[in-house]
Structure 1
Amino acid sequence: MNEFFGSVWWLIVTLGLLVTFHEFGHFIVARWFGVKVLRFSVGFGKPLWMRRDRHGTEFAVAAIPLGGYVKMLDEREGEVAPADLDQAHNRKPVLQRMAIAAAGPAFNLVFTVLAFWLMFVVGKPDFLPIVAAPSGIAAEAGMLAGDRITAVNGDAVDSWSKALQKLGESAIGRMDARVDVVTSGNGSATRTLAFSQMPANVGEDQLFDQIGLSLAPRERPAVVGRISDGDPAAQAGIQVGDRILRINDRDVNGFSDIETLIPEEAARDPQLDLLIQRGNERIEIPLTAAAVDAGDGKTRFIIGVGSSAAYDAKLQYGPLAAIPQAFAETWDATKSSLSMLKMLVVGRASLDNLSGPISIARFANGSAQMGLAWFLGFLALISLSLAIINLLPIPILDGGHLLYYLIELIKGGPVSERSQIAGQYVGLLMLVALMGLAIFNDIHRLLP
């Protein structure tokens, strides 16, 4: 239940930030060109909060947090007083209307760069891309335990998450991936992962099992990184940050010892005595391990603690050095997003890869739990996705308006109102169909 409420909360935070930034782009450029803005709304439906500024613009936060809008004075949407005609959106030159339409996606791009910049300044912890004993396609390609991935298809890789991203993109498109590695003996080699031979019926959830790469294990300190509500550790008063020194009379040197000793000792007697260190104080804590179904007809014992990740890499730069890194990351993410979009359009990637609000909420919650830098990276990617989606030439989106204005610029007159209305219906149907498919995929992923 905590995961549910956390996902909802971080979805609201994510959409609130990105929608506000997007709509502020439309708003500020419209104001700059002298268009009267009637309402700036974050969310749809009945306003929960509203105030009016000295220009007569209503600023509102509405009940449904899945978008927003900027309503401008326009003769096509209602009667306009003669004194206000010079402030009507439809009376402005076509180039100004194009700039207003493009401002929303442009501000999402600005947000993307800013979020990546702040992510690099804060420092994003990650793992070095060193692999464990491979299986599947990776083993067939000659990957070996201890190989450190340095590049995928010529793109430099400096972290495990970046390596997985690059490999995943190739695997989804069933395109062979050229992987440069430094071996455990400090030699260099190139392995070719034959994703083109992967069966077409392999789903997104099976992709990385087929690739066959996993992170080489690192010893984790015996420090509690997370605690499950309601489990024995929480009930006994164990806190995040506590270091477990001993379980019964057996010393603990790393978190793997905890994972081994808890079930071994509890199998003899669920009553356990833990010695922990909290700050400079050592505390003895008795607790009773809980028996849970292991899923194979057997029972295992847990106390409900998890480790803090033993990150061994950190992508961090000073404020000035982070600027080119942010632009480079934005460019790399843009190429990846456009490549994925192309694969979806031409049918090289399955529509099962589309994700909706449920998946976004889960990723938002997961990245927030991993720390500020990870959440900033997530925000940057979602903001970039919003920019790209809104620039698609689909009526009802910003890209559709830009298409209409481009036609108007070429032919010397606006697209007929009848054509625009027909386009709006077509665009709405397309969006509803895509959203329906995305939500269907979200629900399907949740099902066992």
Structure 2
Amino acid sequence: MEFIHTVAVFLFVLLILVSIHEWGHFIIARKCGVRVLRFSVGFGKPFWRFYDKYGTEFAVAPIPLGGYVKMLDETDENVAPADKNKTFESRKTWQQIAILAAGPIANFILAVLLFWWLAMQEATLPSPVIGEVEPNTPAAYAGLEEGQHIIAIDGVVTPGRSDVYERLTHRLGESGSIIVTVKYPDSSDLTYDMEVVIRDWMKGSEAPDPLAGIGVKFYRPHIPALIDSVLEGSAAEDAGFLAGDEVIKVDELEVDGWQSWSEYVRQRPNQPLAVSVKRNGRVKELTLTPSLVEVKGFGKVGQAGVGVKAVSWPENMLVTRKLGITAALDKAVEDTWSNSVMVLVSIKKLLLGQISIKNLSGPIGIAKVAGDSARAGLQYYLHFMAVLSVYLGVFNLLPIPILDGGRIVFCLAEGIKGSPLSERVKMAGLQLGLMFMGVLMIMAFYNDILRL
């Protein structure tokens, strides 16, 4: 069922993004007087189709990894003389460029609308407060301290933790200084610029964690190892655990909180553990043998089958954000722009070897993220859709012949030349584009399979 759910939510988001992209091409082509023969979502022989009053075929095909808009082409031998002025090639250069750019622009518009809606939703999130600084790390050498509130990275305001991650991600693979602006919770006016020195920072790392890369962990409230519930039929129930037990020792090691206790259990599936718990003021000795379970993203781990007692966050460690219509629109445009820049910067760093090629993801990896975001909730899923829409828009504008950006380059070249490019030049460009895209897809699939 989980696999079916992941595939379904991935195909749904792909259907939306491809339809919006192709609709952009379609609507501007119509506005420019070009006859559209087919609007297809998916590749292959259509299993569903209908025709509108203009004779355009709208189709859905079985290979859901893209789509296309087929326009009347003057190279087609079946073009009637009366339709010669309705071909794509008959349009002026600026009209051809508008038609080709309309698909990516439609993706950017969708991203803005989604980010806009998300920005208007009220959300209470943890503030980017430093909880721990690892010794002998760039953050420690810079003087960052526990309890400091990160308010900006390189001069860009970071109201939330995701903003900190985003700004740090921009610096992956670089050398130089990251300027981290901080303040103390008890000081509302004084801020400090801390210089975090980096050199080839996390260059070549697979799935880099930029926060851990500078040696910082965000604040989390201390969670005592207090058991709130015991799952029926679990290893914990077999061992005699009860709700209300407080774990104080495991294999004679002191337990200082839920995280250390749960991590110890996870690392020892099928191993008997001597656990000391405090129950009604008295210490009781139990033997727990964690079950072996498969957890997505972690592999095979040990599981006790107990629930943690929830703790509340301090009010000064939380930020509630809900923007008005105008402010939310500004943020939506800013988010779309920053994600676009991040894609371009990431591509540049991939080409320069500053980011490992292992970070490329193909359809399998994207599908996994789609499934995880859908399970996390509607807002996470829509945020994923918005980001993917930006990626699709930017990627299609790259000057690769098989993509919209490459075709725009051809149109510009023909406009400057004053005549069409030769078929030999166009064919050579398309072959290079196909070769590049083929290599890229093979690498992405390879990475996905390795992760699986």
Closer, same or farther in 2 for the Cα pair 1:332/1:251, shift >3 Å? Answer: same
SS of residue matched to 2:165: helix
Question: Hey, what's the Cα distance between the residues in 2 that align with 1:400 and 1:13?
Answer: 28
Question: Hey, what's the Cα distance between the residues in 2 that align with 1:69 and 1:124?
Answer: 38
Question: Hey, what's the Cα distance between the residues in 1 that align with 2:223 and 2:57?
Answer: 53
Partner of 2:304: 301
Aligned partner letter, 1:411: K
Closer, same or farther in 2 for the Cα pair 1:307/1:391, shift >3 Å? Answer: farther
The 5 Å alignment of 1:356-371 reads 356-371=362-377
Percent identical:
36
1:411 maps to which of 397, 410, 417: 417
Conserved 8 A contact 1:134-1:144: yes
Aligned partner letter, 2:197: A
- The reply to whether residue 148 of structure 1 matches residue 154 of structure 2 is no
Partner of 1:278: none
Conserved 8 A contact 2:173-2:202: no
Partner of 2:434: 428
Question: Hey, what's the Cα distance between the residues in 2 that align with 1:95 and 1:170?
Answer: 37
Question: Hey, what's the Cα distance between the residues in 1 that align with 2:77 and 2:318?
Answer: 60
More helix by share: 1
After superposing the two structures, state which structure 1 stretch, 68-77 or 324-333, moved more: 324-333
Conserved 8 A contact 2:224-2:258: no
Partner of 1:444: 450
Superposed CA offset, 1:265-322 (max 9, x none): x9899xxxxxxxxxxxxxxxxxxx9832499x99651247897997933432122331
After superposing the two structures, state which structure 1 stretch, 420-429 or 170-179, moved more: 170-179
Q: In the TM superposition, what is the alpha-carbon distance from 1:168 to its structure 2 partner?
A: 2.4
Superposed CA offset, 1:81-125 (max 9, x none): 223222222222222111111111111111121111011123455
Conserved 8 A contact 2:361-2:445: yes
Closer, same or farther in 2 for the Cα pair 1:104/1:78, shift >3 Å? Answer: farther
- The reply to whether residue 218 of structure 1 matches residue 224 of structure 2 is no
Aligned partner letter, 1:30: A
Question: Hey, what's the Cα distance between the residues in 1 that align with 2:94 and 2:208?
Answer: 46
Question: Hey, what's the Cα distance between the residues in 2 that align with 1:404 and 1:309?
Answer: 59
Conserved 8 A contact 1:47-1:62: yes
Partner of 2:194: 191
The 5 Å alignment of 1:14-25 reads 14-25=13-24
Aligned partner letter, 2:74: E
Q: In the TM superposition, what is the alpha-carbon distance from 1:250 to its structure 2 partner?
A: 5.1
Q: In the TM superposition, what is the alpha-carbon distance from 1:406 to its structure 2 partner?
A: 0.4
Aligned partner letter, 1:13: F
After superposing the two structures, state which structure 1 stretch, 302-311 or 433-442, moved more: 302-311
Conserved 8 A contact 1:267-1:301: no
Conserved 8 A contact 1:138-1:193: yes
Partner of 1:43: 42
Conserved 8 A contact 1:147-1:181: yes
The 5 Å alignment of 1:47-66 reads 47-66=46-65
Conserved 8 A contact 2:200-2:354: no
Question: Hey, what's the Cα distance between the residues in 1 that align with 2:450 and 2:125?
Answer: 30
Closer, same or farther in 2 for the Cα pair 1:45/1:150, shift >3 Å? Answer: same
SS of residue matched to 2:7: helix
Superposed CA offset, 1:111-150 (max 9, x none): 1211110111234553211121121332232221111110
Superposed CA offset, 1:183-241 (max 9, x none): 2443532222222164645433465543322221136899x9xx9xxx94699xxxxxx
Question: Hey, what's the Cα distance between the residues in 1 that align with 2:171 and 2:97?
Answer: 36
Aligned partner letter, 2:54: H
TM-score of the two chains, using structure 2 as the length reference: 0.79
SS of residue matched to 1:54: coil
SS of residue matched to 1:70: strand
Closer, same or farther in 2 for the Cα pair 1:328/1:198, shift >3 Å? Answer: closer
- The reply to whether residue 180 of structure 1 matches residue 165 of structure 2 is no
Cα root mean square deviation, aligned:
3.8
Question: Hey, what's the Cα distance between the residues in 1 that align with 2:429 and 2:126?
Answer: 48
Count of residues in Structure 1 that have an aligned counterpart in Structure 2: 408
Q: In the TM superposition, what is the alpha-carbon distance from 1:247 to its structure 2 partner?
A: 4.7
Partner of 2:250: none
Question: Hey, what's the Cα distance between the residues in 1 that align with 2:377 and 2:301?
Answer: 35
Aligned partner letter, 2:70: K
After superposing the two structures, state which structure 1 stretch, 5-14 or 102-111, moved more: 5-14
The 5 Å alignment of 1:8-407 reads 8-135=7-134, 136-186=137-187, 187-196=190-199, 198=201, 200=203, 202-205=205-208, 208-218=211-221, 232=231, 247-248=242-243, 291-293=290-292, 301-303=304-306, 312-407=318-413
Superposed CA offset, 1:13-71 (max 9, x none): 22111111110000001111121111111111132321211111111121111110001
Conserved 8 A contact 1:10-1:368: yes
Aligned partner letter, 1:194: V
Superposed CA offset, 1:315-355 (max 9, x none): 32122331112112222223322222332333333323322
After superposing the two structures, state which structure 1 stretch, 84-93 or 155-164, moved more: 84-93
Closer, same or farther in 2 for the Cα pair 1:325/1:233, shift >3 Å? Answer: farther
Closer, same or farther in 2 for the Cα pair 1:10/1:123, shift >3 Å? Answer: farther
Conserved 8 A contact 1:124-1:373: no
Partner of 1:286: none
Structure 1 gap segments, 5+ residues each? 236-245, 270-288
TM-score of the two chains, using structure 1 as the length reference: 0.79
Aligned partner letter, 1:117: W
Conserved 8 A contact 1:118-1:376: no
Closer, same or farther in 2 for the Cα pair 1:305/1:219, shift >3 Å? Answer: closer
Question: Hey, what's the Cα distance between the residues in 2 that align with 1:268 and 1:221?
Answer: 19
